[in-house]
Amino acid sequence: MSLILDCTLEQLPLREADNARVIDANAHANKLTYNPAPKMIYIRRKGKGIEKQYRYNCRNCNLPLYYRHNSDSHVTFVMSNALHKNKGEKPLAQLLAAEAKAKAGNNKNCISNISIAHVATTPTVAPSGENSGILDDSGKKVMVTRHTKNMGKFSSVTVSTIDEEEDEIEAREIADSYANNARIIEKQLQRKGGKLADLGAKAKTEEILPPQKKQRGTLLER
């Protein structure tokens, strides 16, 4: 806090040369807070010569707040837009902290609503490939429950449209269907491969020729 005053800044006299507000210690009770070491500068005014100022800066940010024409003068000038009124209000840091806390509270409420929506979409037996979801205030789906039927078994998966878009879900479904088809084809090939192996073994046994019979004739073997 840089200034405590018995009135508002708008009620103080205005200096037209630089729009500074004039504080007369004899007319207004005030308490100034600033860096006690002033910086002396000279300003050239058109048609008015050169003006000497003792400028007093803020203790924290070192920005100029006030100036006087003499270091021991009872008249202080508040530079234009150097101070902001904060009468009966919380400091700016507290206001920003309260605003951030309120935003965090709103985010928690959104998360709790999403979790409630997740409970509300408990999977129930439905036809294969059917989707169900809950819409928020803007009409956008928040949660989606997908019911599928695979090998005579029902299953359901709940996904969030916040993390997964419909294109990603569709691509995942296609990949899953390809994987399922590959498993089925592999099992069928294994079964057919076993039967073909049995048939091949039988064919090999049948291909074995019987022993040749001795030829009969009139000639005797020597």
The CA distance from 1 to 58, in Å, is 10
- The pLDDT value recorded for residue 48 is 84
Average pLDDT for 53-63 = 91
Q: Select the more confidently predicted residue: 114 or 4.
A: 4
- Asked if the model's pLDDT at residue 65 lies above 90, the reply is yes
The CA distance from 33 to 198, in Å, is 102
Expressed in angstroms, the distance from the first to the final Cα of the chain is 138
Average pLDDT for 130-143 = 50
The CA distance from 21 to 27, in Å, is 14
Segment among 54-68, 129-143, 151-165 with least mean pLDDT: 129-143
For residue range 94-104, what is the model confidence (pLDDT) as tens digits?
656 666 777 67
Segment among 50-54, 116-120, 171-175, 190-194 with least mean pLDDT: 116-120
Q: Select the more confidently predicted residue: 195 or 8.
A: 8
pTM: 0.39
- The pLDDT value recorded for residue 34 is 92
State the amino acid at position 61 in one-letter form.
C
Average pLDDT for 80-92 = 67
- The pLDDT value recorded for residue 118 is 42
The CA distance from 61 to 100, in Å, is 24
CB 131 within 8 A of CB 146: yes
- Asked if the model's pLDDT at residue 2 lies above 90, the reply is no
Backbone angles phi, psi at 83, to 5 degrees: -125, 155
User: Which residues are CB-neighbours of 22 under 8 A, at least 6 positions away?
Assistant: 12, 13, 14, 15, 75, 76, 77, 78
